[in-house]
Amino acid sequence: MLKFEHVSKRYPEAGEVLRNINFSLDHGEMAFLTGHSGAGKSTLLRLIAVIERCSRGHIWLDGASVNDAKTGQIPVLRRKIGLIFQDYKLLHDRTVFDNVALPLVIAGYGHQEIGRRVRAALDKVGLLGKENKYPVTLSGGEQQRVGIARAVVNKPPMILADEPTGNLDPELSSEIMKLFEQFQQVGVTILIATHDISLISKMNYRVLKLAQGELTSD
């Protein structure tokens, strides 16, 4: 599903942020990506979502080469990934429904199909009654669940989460994690970047550890 081959990323100002990264995730695999802040977690995720390109090496996503993707193909690649952010990145002038519907609108789905899928996704994250609310009226945990609904509504084969529980208390965090487990069980590949060690240790999944730009343990 996801494969890194000798991937390095160098910034002109900061030098080499990632050095010779090698790993692969199978279809339906769930893994954590950890490391101190500045270890390169976010950069690694940015490379997968083609927000940036790697300086050396090769990245494969769902059989397609990320390196070779032309600018015009990036949107199509990104639709294979459900992105989840620490700050949720919701549109505050739109309802929960419209936020979740956005990926489907972008992908060109019809009205009825959108309604059906959005309600299914909201049902999955337990927010079915809140379609017409605005994100600001929701709690942090609920907002993150809206973010998750938006990430999965298009049924992408892969979910990337960048510190999804960073702003949530432990109880809400484990709820969110349970959601991820449910998606993993239906075959979605999930990579979660987090520095929440206690959370990781409670769950028995593969852990990729980054330190100073290198993958130190797997």
Rounded to a whole number of angstroms, the minimum distance from the CB of residue 11 to another protein is 14
Instruction: State the number of binding residues for another protein (CB under 8 A).
Output: 49
> What is the number of other CB atoms lying within 10 angstroms of the CB of residue 45?
22
Q: Is 216 among the residues that bind another protein (CB under 8 A)?
A: no
DSSP H helical ranges for 49-191: 74-78, 96-107, 111-124, 140-152, 170-185
Least Å distance, CB 168 to another protein, is: 20
Task: Name every residue whose Cβ is closer than 8 Å to that of residue 57 and which is 6 or more positions away in sequence.
Answer: 4, 5, 6, 7, 8, 20, 21
SS3 130: helix
Q: Please tell me the total number of residues recorded for the chain in this structure.
A: 218
**Six-digit token pair at 5?**
């081959």
Q: What contacts 3, CB < 8 A, 6 or more positions away? A: 23, 24, 25, 58, 59, 60, 61
Interaction residues for another protein, span 112-131 (CB under 8 A)? 113
Least distance between another protein and beta carbon 122 (Å): 16
Stretch that binds another protein, among 11-19, 33-41, 97-105, 167-175 (CB under 8 A): 97-105
Q: How far apart are CA 124 and CA 102, in angstroms?
A: 17
Q: Does 75 bind another protein (CB under 8 A)?
A: yes
Q: Interface with another protein includes 2 (CB under 8 A)?
A: no
Out of 59, 66, 102, 179, the only residue in the binding site for another protein (CB under 8 A) is 102
Q: Looking at residues 126 to 185 of the shown chain, list those that interact with another protein (rule: CB under 8 A).
A: 150, 154-157, 181, 184-185
By CB under 8 A, is residue 19 in contact with another protein? no
- Interface with another protein (CB under 8 A), residue from 31, 96, 138, 199: 31
**Residue (of 192, 212, 213, 214) closest to 203 by Cα position:** 192
Interacting residues toward another protein by CB under 8 A:
22-24, 26-31, 49, 51, 72, 75-79, 83, 89, 91, 102-103, 105-111, 113, 150, 154-157, 181, 184-188, 203-208, 215, 218
